[in-house]
Copies of this chain bind each other. A is one copy, B any other.
């Protein structure tokens, strides 16, 4: 439905008004007619499209009817398709009851605010509805990136933390917004054009403007923060003005991610009267969400706690408190590290060593205090899935939580809200508080597979371990020793079997949630033998290095070395895990992390972090 503007006619003098291309003027024929008038006639020059609305129908002029009754609701609609060469070229006349009571000369103007609504990577004019934003392969609507990297290595803060442009690379992270204005110069001198944003969006974006030939330092911050409106300069009329838009905030519990920009043409005040809007164009952007990558995505870079490699100093293990992801727009993609509320702060590891050109940073705070469940061993993402017909082409996030028992721990509300608000990887909440540390990566992992859904879910399984040990016991290896050279458990294999058996229940509960929320069936799951010990007071922890707490790099798995019972010169746990995983084309390397991680209640996965290749699938092609 075209934007329409009501125009009163004057019986005194023909007044001129602006007709913005693509809009309609609705002429108030009845209100303008002399008291005794009963009919009207209308005619226009060829550049003006004229319709008479009569009896709720729109009839295109010229028609065979020459006189129209001045009935209630009679209207004349005007529109123009192209700019006429000279002011006053096109005319419309309105003899009412035979008398020439009004003669209007619409001044055609072109005012258009455009962005990359087709998601092609460049701004082009389209007929798409720019004021709406839709998901899916046939969706439309422009995309913004949170400009949370630091393109200038000498800068102390993120690019979007100030109102200056420091490098051309910085501009490249921003989305372009193009204002096109054309028309007779007389129009723009009699009017004012403003670019503006809603108050509630002002803390979400920054807009910069510099003329085509501007040097970096001439780029001016024109909208955002306390700047709600920017008056377009006369020098900017009759041209295309390119604005650069940066995002300041990720979607969150109180921010849908949508931001609207408007350009409004105001009729200038005249004779002390008020300035009034006569045309508005709106373009809507969506802030790109922060996206996690699953184990099945190709690794690009592995981060390992330095102390693991160089020394035995039990320093704080940083990688567990960040998670790598990325943001993507049609024009640009870059990785963004998400810093957990635990031990956060720009001064710490992530910013110092990771943040840089095209490598962004985002953090959330937990004013209520953070817990172990806020470490990002408690934040995983599944490979792409379909669950009962519903597609999750970027997988689903898995977070661990507690039962709301007294003193139960949970992930900080700010982190959970943030993850839900990204919309594209709908989080699933698991029960992890039964573990002393309380992370989902203590009982699950995903590995690539050539068949079925392209992956397997690995679940730590006390019962599979029990079954294996029982088998070995029956084969006569009941005295086989564990923890070779790492001993704290002095009895043989048989001593392990009973106390741990019932610890299955909590993992079984998660198994059910995972099957339902990820659409898995039993053949998609592999039970990895694992024992946990613990009690109600302290929670459970892996009794030997936790094999599902593995590092997955393509088809290569770095698995914590379990130091299980030696049977025939081989660790029977390693042997079983190989037997389970190697048929999928995976290579198992068992890594001794006993002293470096395991005794500190973590294993390989907790001490490493992987930056992976973004999905080939574009997030805007999904329907959340």
Contacts and interface: CB of A to CB of B under 8 A. Distances in A.
Interface stretch (A180-188, A505-513, A591-599): A505-513
A376 to B, nearest CB: 20
A348 interface: no
A505 B267 contact: yes
Contact of A535 (B31, B200, B228, B272): B272
A527 B431 CA distance: 63
A274 B404 contact: no
A206 B410 CA distance: 21
A517 to B, nearest CB: 10
Nearest to A2: B516
Interface residues of A, number: 82
A254 B253 CA distance: 6
A73 interface: yes
A536 interface: yes
B194 A464 contact: no
Contact of A516 (B1, B471, B502, B535): B1
A32 B467 contact: yes
A272 B72 CA distance: 85
A124 interface: no
Interface stretch (A5-13, A102-110, A154-162): A5-13
A274 B503 contact: yes
Contacts of A272: 535-536
Contact of A509 (B35, B278, B463, B504): B278
A316 interface: no
A333 interface: no
Contact of A31 (B35, B464, B539): B464
B5 A509 contact: yes
B264 A508 contact: no
B505 A278 contact: yes
A502 B267 CA distance: 11
A271 B535 CA distance: 9
A229 B523 contact: no
A405 B262 CA distance: 13
A502 B274 CA distance: 8
A167 interface: no
Contact of A515 (B4, B417, B523, B539): B4
B404 A461 contact: no
Contacts of A75: 522
Interface string A535-572: 11001100000000000000000000000000000000
Interface in A323-368: none
A91 interface: no
Interface string A516-527: 100001110001
16 contacts: A5-B509, A6-B512, A8-B504, A31-B467, A34-B471, A53-B522, A194-B403, A196-B403, A254-B254, A272-B536, A273-B535, A273-B536, A274-B506, A274-B535, A276-B434, A276-B508
Interface of A: 1, 3-8, 11, 26, 28, 31-32, 34-35, 53, 56, 72-73, 75, 194, 196-200, 228-229, 253-254, 264, 266-267, 269-278, 388, 403-406, 408, 410, 413, 416-417, 431, 434, 461, 463-464, 467, 470-471, 474, 499, 502-506, 508-509, 511-512, 515-516, 521-523, 527, 534-536, 539-540
